[in-house]
Amino acid sequence: MSQTIKTFEIDLEDVEIINNDIEGWLVETNNGITVALDTTLTEDLIQEGIAREFISKLQTMRKEAGLEVIDRININIDANQNIISAIKIKNDYICNETLSNSINISYLSDENEIDFLDDKIKVSISKV
């Protein structure tokens, strides 16, 4: 049994390229280059986002407290379990970025309350 191979020539005007959204992906094309990004939030990405936002808040608190860039601090936090869990997992990263010796989970008064993402948390810092 022999097979016959047929050759067809397809030109660009013979095809239509349609971009459809794919759930969880962001796709953009420009000048013939297409880039696709997976925008699915994994647990690790969510925790990293929480840690980065926490670091940003702490750096603002340091500045407002008049602390020097090299001053080491201790952190106290009172927050919901999701935030506490992320902070515990990213503890070393947070401490390194903020020059913190420790992050302690403790009850804090309302005077320490700050806006954090779509929530409120209570945070205090003290110079070591």
128 residues of the chain, pLDDT tens digit each: 678 888 989 988 888 877 677 888 888 888 888 888 999 999 999 999 999 999 999 999 999 999 999 999 999 999 999 999 999 999 999 999 999 999 999 999 999 999 999 999 999 999 99
Domain boundaries, position 94: 43-127
With respect to residue 26, please indicate whether it lies within any of the assigned structural domains: no
pTM check: above 0.85: no
Total domains, the chain: 1
CATH number, domain at 66? 3.30.2320
3-state secondary structure of 96: helix
42 sits in which H/E element: none
With respect to residue 109, please indicate whether it lies within any of the assigned structural domains: yes
Tokens 């349609």 identify what position?
A: 18
